[in-house]
């Protein structure tokens, strides 16, 4: 149980880093913060399976948002009407 | 709540009395029962005494084909029928179908417009009561779910 | 303080075209407040009356199915410039307002 | 009126009004106008100020009926009485502005060199309150939106005239930032503003038809039938960002101000026709 909690905290911190990076790039998605909050609350309630699942979704979204920001750093230029 | 409403009705009659009502408008108490009916036919019976109307192409009902927003659907009703006593708007699929009813005095022209709410796609009926009977026409208005407008 | 009734009138011969707009929530009594989740009580105009020089020319009976900030337009004959049009409404919770306009 | 003539006149008018305009934004704007005019050849340039109602006939009829007596008239009236109110120190909003009330809307958004940022009408009004020791309004406060409704109404018929002077590198940077924002895909749905309002303009998303970006800013604030109340341009931005499932920015954030700066510049030469009525 303790190991499980430590793992959750480690993965949570990593997901949060991705979310912060997406936010810094101006590309955070709408649900990510809420998923992180839900994951934390579920973990606090001891339901680790669901907590990890929610955390996984948050992490996926945050990372995808960062990738989107990286892509868009140049990709937007091709859409400009000329 | 119920008590409050009675007070209001008495208040409105008092206001109306001050204005020295002509003949046609003496009966113009707010038709609480008809407005409370959950079926179009019953609302018409409560309001007009019958749910039977004569279809008439002398009534022009102007409504959109597709409502931009069910919260604000413009409705205009005109008719060439003579001696019109009242015009009513019935939205068949609304939870309470009778939307509004307009009491005309002898000098009032049969040309009214308003904006109504519609919960879903429905037939909208314009009902015109004259001294010769009760006439109607209806049109379907499509209501779609919005949310992205602008 | 801004009024809660607005009237526009147009006189063509002896026919007056009246357009009215009221500032009113027209609550149906079935809507829930998005913040509190509680049902917002019904609050709507029931009757809108127009009297020209004291003679009632139109009584509009509304249900909750009339849109928020209701609009109502109509025409009547026998009007002349300088007539006083009185517009008044009452609602289901005892609210009322009125406005006098000169044609 | 001849369409090309109208377009040329407006381009000329704008370039005459700002001799120091830079080629970049002006080329962008000309291309923007050309795109929408070739997409909707039957629509006159001036008509784009009417947004979606320039290109959708059935909606236009309903809009015209609402315009017969639009619910935003209460907002204009309220805004006017706020404009005339006296602050505790005896001064009024008018004292903050050198121009008469019909010439204020068209001055914003503008880049202010000294501050190094885009200033919108909402910011200018709140600055005025702060300068007079009054509490600033929240950016979604009804009072503030009503004031902008009044000033838009006063300015009707005046042209949008956003300036990007060549000697203000900060202005061009803010413009470029707004342009990047406009064309960047974001959110879970991976949409850019341009995907809906340029590429798919006129098409339906669920029940709604997508409005052209040319003229997007001219008619705000608007009375939304859906909400039964008034909203400002940036509240609409916020709604769009949310609709593509991205986390919205704060009202009057640098992101939205720069976006407003870019979008308003694209509408230069169109007439201010706010406040508006939208579904």
Longest dimension (CA), chain C: 53
- The confidence band for C3, taking pLDDT boundaries of 50, 70 and 90, is low
Q: Where are the alpha helices (DSSP H) in chain A?
A: 2-24, 32-44, 48-75
Is there a cis peptide before residue D35, judged by omega within 30 degrees of 0? no
Domain range annotation of chain A: 2-74
3-state secondary structure of B85: strand
Distance in angstroms (rounded) separating the CA atoms of residues C64 and C42 = 8
Are C19 and D74 within 8 A, CB to CB? no
Structural domain range at position D226: 1-279
pLDDT tens, position by position, D14-24: 444 444 556 69
Distance in angstroms (rounded) separating the CA atoms of residues D204 and B66 = 13
Longest dimension (CA), chain A: 60
Domain range annotation of chain B: 31-143
Distance in angstroms (rounded) separating the CA atoms of residues D96 and A59 = 49
| B127: CB partners within 8 A, 6+ apart | B44, B48, B53, B87, B88, B89, B90, B134, B135, B136
CATH of the domain at D19: 1.10.760.10
Tokens of B44: 């018409």
* Number of helices followed by number of strands (H, E) in chain C: 0, 7
For B17, half-sphere exposure in the C-beta direction (CA atoms, 13 angstrom radius) is 6
Distance in angstroms (rounded) separating the CA atoms of residues B125 and B53 = 11
More confident residue, A32 or D57: A32
Mean per-residue pLDDT for A36-52?
94
Are D185 and A68 within 8 A, CB to CB? yes
Tokens of C11: 């006189």
| A24: CB partners within 8 A, 6+ apart | none
Report the 10 Å Cβ neighbour count for D28. 19
Regarding the domain delimited by B31-143, which CATH topology (the fold level of the hierarchy) does it fall under?
Immunoglobulin-like (2.60.40)
What phi and psi, each to the nearest 5 degrees, are found at residue D150?
-65, -45
Range 43-82 of C in CB contact (< 8 A) with B? 46-47, 49, 51, 54-68, 70-78
Structural domain range at position C80: 5-102
CATH of the domain at C90: 2.60.40.10
Are C1 and D81 within 8 A, CB to CB? yes
C-alpha separations of D91 from C72, D3, D95, D96, D133 in Å: 40, 46, 6, 9, 10
pLDDT tens, position by position, D198-225: 988 888 887 778 899 999 999 999 999 9
Question: For position B19, what pLDDT does the model report?
Answer: 44
Tokens of D210: 């997508």
Residue B37 is classified by DSSP as -
Are C67 and B72 within 8 A, CB to CB? yes
In which residue ranges of chain D is pLDDT below 50? Answer: 1-19
* Least-confidence region, from A61-75, C46-60, D15-29: D15-29
pLDDT tens, position by position, B10-54: 334 444 444 444 444 444 689 989 999 999 999 999 999 999 999
Domain count, chain D: 1
pLDDT tens, position by position, B78-95: 999 999 999 999 999 999
Say if B and C touch: at least 3 Cβ pairs within 8 Å.
yes
- Residues from chain C that touch D71, judged by Cβ atoms under 8 A, are 21, 68-69, 71
Whose tokens are 């009395």? That residue is B17
D128 included as an active-site residue: no
């Amino acid at each position: 149980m303790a190991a499980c909690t430590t793992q959750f905290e480690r993965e949570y911190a990593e997901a949060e880093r991705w979310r912060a990076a997406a936010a810094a790039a101006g590309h955070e998605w709408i649900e990510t913060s809420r998923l992180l909050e839900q994951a934390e609350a579920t973990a606090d309630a001891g339901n680790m399976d669901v907590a990890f699942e929610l955390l996984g979704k948050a992490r996926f979204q945050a990372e995808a948002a960062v990738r989107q920001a990286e892509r868009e750093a140049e990709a937007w230029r091709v859409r400009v009407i000329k | 709540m119920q008590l409050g409403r009675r007070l209001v009705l008495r208040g409105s009659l008092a206001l109306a009395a001050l204005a020295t009502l002509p003949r046609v408008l003496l009966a113009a108490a707010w038709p609480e029962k008809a407005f409370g009916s959950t079926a179009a036919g019953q609302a018409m019976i409560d309001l007009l005494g019958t749910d039977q109307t004569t279809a008439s192409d002398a009534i022009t009902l102007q409504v959109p084909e597709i409502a931009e927003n069910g919260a604000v659907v413009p409705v205009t009703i005109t008719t060439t029928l003579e001696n019109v006593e009242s015009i009513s708007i019935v939205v068949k699929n609304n939870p309470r179908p009778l939307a509004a009813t307009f009491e005309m005095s002898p000098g009032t022209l049969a040309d009214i417009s308003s904006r109504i709410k519609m919960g879903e796609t429905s037939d909208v009926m314009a009902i015109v009561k004259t001294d010769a009977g009760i006439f109607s026409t209806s049109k379907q208005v499509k209501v779609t779910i919005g949310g992205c407008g602008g | 303080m801004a009024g809660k009734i607005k009237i526009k009138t147009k006189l063509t011969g002896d026919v007056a075209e009246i357009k009215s707009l009221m500032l009113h929530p027209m609550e149906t009594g079935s809507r829930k407040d998005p913040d509190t989740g509680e049902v917002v009580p019904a609050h709507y105009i029931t009757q809108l009356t127009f009297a020209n020089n004291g003679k009632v020319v139109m009584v509009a009976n509304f249900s909750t199915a009339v849109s928020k900030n209701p609009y109502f337009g109509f025409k009547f004959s026998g009007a002349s410039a300088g007539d006083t049009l009185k517009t008044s409404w009452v609602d289901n919770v005892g609210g009322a307002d009125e406005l006098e306009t000169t044609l | 009126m001849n369409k090309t003539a109208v377009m040329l006149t407006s381009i000329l008018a704008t370039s005459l009004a700002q001799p120091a305009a830079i080629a970049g934004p002006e080329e962008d704007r000309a291309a923007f106008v050309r795109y929408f005019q070739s997409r909707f050849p039957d629509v006159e340039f001036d008509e784009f100020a009417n947004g979606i109602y320039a290109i959708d006939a059935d909606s236009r009829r309903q809009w015209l009926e609402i315009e017969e007596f639009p619910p935003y008239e209460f907002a204009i009236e309220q805004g006017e009485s706020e404009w005339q109110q006296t602050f505790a120190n005896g001064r009024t909003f008018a004292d903050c502005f050198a121009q008469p009330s019909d010439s204020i809307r068209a001055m914003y958004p503008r880049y202010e060199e000294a501050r190094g940022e885009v200033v919108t009408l909402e910011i200018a009004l709140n600055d005025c309150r702060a300068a007079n020791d009054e509490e600033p309004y929240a950016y979604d406060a009804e009072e503030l939106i009503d004031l902008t409704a009044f000033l838009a109404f006063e300015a009707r018929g005046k042209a949008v005239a956003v300036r990007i002077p060549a000697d203000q590198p900060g202005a061009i940077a803010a413009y470029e930032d707004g342009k990047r924002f406009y064309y960047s895909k974001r959110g879970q749905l991976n949409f850019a503003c341009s995907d809906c309002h340029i590429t798919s303009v006129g098409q339906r998303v669920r029940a709604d038809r997508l409005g052209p970006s040319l003229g997007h800013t001219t008619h705000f604030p608007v009375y939304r039938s859906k909400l039964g109340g008034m909203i400002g341009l940036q509240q609409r931005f916020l709604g769009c960002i949310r609709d593509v499932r991205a986390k919205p920015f704060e009202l009057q954030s640098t992101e939205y101000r720069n976006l407003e700066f870019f979008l308003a510049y694209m509408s230069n030469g169109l007439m201010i026709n706010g406040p508006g009525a939208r579904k």
